[in-house]
Amino acid sequence: MRVACDACGGLLDVRYDWDRIPVPASLRDFEARWSNRRNPLDVSGVWRFRELLPFAPPDEIVTIGEGQTILQTSDRVGHYVGMNPGRLFLQYEGLNPSGSFKDNGMTAAATHARMVGAKTAACASTGNTSASLAVFASTTGLLRVVVFVGSGKIAFGKLAQALDYGALTLQVQGDFDEALARVREVCSQLGIYLCNSVNPLRLEGQKTIMYRVLEALAWEPPDWIVVPGGNLGNSSAFGKAFYELEQLGLIDRIPRLAVINAEGSNTLYQIYEQHKVHWNEGRTDTSAIDDFYSQMDAEGRRAATLATAIEINRPVNLVKCLRALDVCDGVVREVSDQEIMDGKAQVGAGGFGCEPASGASIAGAKRLREEGVIAADDRVVCILTGHGLKDPNATVGYHSGEGGRAAGRFANQPIVVENDLEQIIAALHKFV
């Protein structure tokens, strides 16, 4: 599977000739599909928008019911962030079959793999990509799957999924970046279909997260989309979605995009906000990016964050993300692990919960609110990329202060009590 340009090494991008493709006159036209619960393509939160990612014949589409996710208003989290009531929304991508947003992209990659007759697929992963690819393979029986995970850092829920779904799992010595570089080599040598977000079809599927946000807001674009940044597939896809919708005359306003890095894994933040490397109408200063990486290597700096999903040194979609930031008048911020975990705890206490990386959305929105970049009355959508049960160790560590750490600021500490009725009742007196 070819994913990059032979001449410049830049990643391939999907472009459609919209003049030759029937596109609905209005986003409202998609609502006709809501009443059709028998056609799996209309039930899928990705493929009910199929005219906007028109690369696959309908009978080749591989779907497992992905993208049935919801947007919820959360005034409690909104209050924490500093928003007025009714202005903060949480988009729960953890409700996907494998528990993360990756299923939106994987249905597109699995479809393309089928179109080209691939029998084996692979990915490197901080955990969620592997869980997603593995569940597509196990439920459809169409592919054999190999997943490469870096050593040590993968959250337990994600590793459990890859093993349970029967993926051949290689724990490669090294970090995610090294595993990704290896899997790219292996795929090209062995003719294996590559399912990381270097594959441009993945991003086509992930565009639909934005279509569902618009759908939930009655097609009225919000003011802000706030999303954690790791390998930068989501942010790149979101920018492409809005660019295309505007080109097609389907929206008249593009939301602003905020991409949030963990402080310990902040390549995009440094490149965009500090070194001021921007899209620059397609003439991005890639030598400045190369210099940045050389210096990072020379100083031996490696990404490190509790939000292991986004612990990435060299985000592969960096340049596409710069394009998205340009399209969406975007900003990038970095937040500490403490802020991430506090944001996550707020989603737990005021919503369905999420994994640490998603907490970065909340922490980032709060930071931008404090800076006055986001106004209290703006409509803000925080993308929650993964389910709360993905990383139980992080959650239990935060609440109970296990592992030598202090319990978090919003900890809900378990109370240890003897198996004695009086003592149990005494412990409950505070609550009842």
Task: Please give the residue ranges that form the binding site for ligand F0G (CB under 6 A).
Answer: 100, 102, 125-129, 197, 228-234, 309-310, 355, 357, 385-386
Residue nearest ligand F0G (C-beta atom): 230
* Angle value at C-alpha 49, between 60 and 217, nearest 5 degrees: 155
Of 118 and 382, nearer to ligand F0G (C-beta) is: 382
Nearer to ligand F0G, 111 or 385 (CB): 385
- State both tokens at 347: 């989603």
Q: CB of residue 6 vs ligand F0G: minimum separation in angstroms?
A: 25
* 97 CB neighbour count, 10 Å cutoff: 18
Whether 97 contacts 136, CB under 8 Å = no
224 backbone φψ class: left, alpha, beta (φ>0; ψ -120 to 50): beta
Query: Minimum distance between the CB of residue 259 and ligand F0G, rounded to whole angstroms?
Result: 8
- Residue 71's beta-bridge partner residues? 91
Instruction: Judge whether 405 and 397 are in contact, CB under 8 Å.
Output: yes
Min dist. Cβ of residue 310 to ligand F0G (A):
5
User: Residue 239, Cα to own-chain centre: how many angstroms?
Assistant: 14
CA distance 271 to 292: 8
What is the distance between the alpha carbons of residues 302 and 232, in angstroms, rounded to a whole number? 18
Burial class (CB in 10 A: 0-12, 13-18, 19+), 206: buried
Q: Is 351 helix (H, G, I), strand (E, B) or coil?
A: coil
Host H or E run for residue 146:
strand 144-150
Cβ-based nearer residue to ligand F0G, 27 or 64: 64
Length, in residues, of the chain? 432
Smallest gap from Cβ 131 to ligand F0G, in A, equals: 8
Residue nearer to ligand F0G on the CB measure, 27 or 318: 318
- Which H helix or E strand runs over 13? none
Under 8 Å CB-to-CB from 131, ≥6 apart: which residues?
98, 99, 100, 102, 125, 158, 161, 162, 165
Residue 228: φ, ψ to 5°: -65, 150
Residue 154 C-beta: closest distance to ligand F0G, Å: 9
For ligand F0G, the closer CB: 91 or 234: 234
Q: Least distance to ligand F0G from the beta carbon of 230, Å? A: 3
Q: CB of residue 88 vs ligand F0G: minimum separation in angstroms?
A: 19
233 vs 264, which CB is nearer to ligand F0G? 233
Which CB atom, from 43 or from 113, has the smaller least distance to ligand F0G?
Answer: 113
Specify the residue, 79 or 153, whose C-beta has the smaller distance to ligand F0G. 153
**CB of residue 426 vs ligand F0G: minimum separation in angstroms?**
41
Pick the closer one to ligand F0G by CB: 321 or 374. 321
Nearer to ligand F0G, 50 or 102 (CB): 102
The H-or-E segment that residue 381 falls in is: strand 380-384
Question: How many CA atoms does the CB half-sphere of 46 hold within 13 Å?
Answer: 33
Q: Compute the CA torsion angle 72, 73, 77, 78 (nearest 10 deg).
A: 150
CA distance 16 to 204: 11
- Which CB, 107 or 129, lies closer to ligand F0G? 129
Q: How far apart are CA 312 and CA 231, in angstroms?
A: 7
Nearer of residues 1 and 312 to ligand F0G, judged by Cβ: 312
Min CB(57)–ligand F0G separation in Å:
27
Of 378, 382, 3, which Cα lies nearest the Cα of 220? 378
Q: How far is the CB of 258 from ligand F0G (least distance, A)?
A: 13
* Minimum CB distance to ligand F0G, residue 34 (Å): 28
Dihedral angle, C-alpha 100, 183, 207, 74, nearest 10 ° = 30
The candidate with the shortest Cα–Cα distance to 136, out of 121, 150, 124, is: 121
Task: Please report how close the Cβ of residue 308 comes to ligand F0G at its closest, in angstroms.
Answer: 9
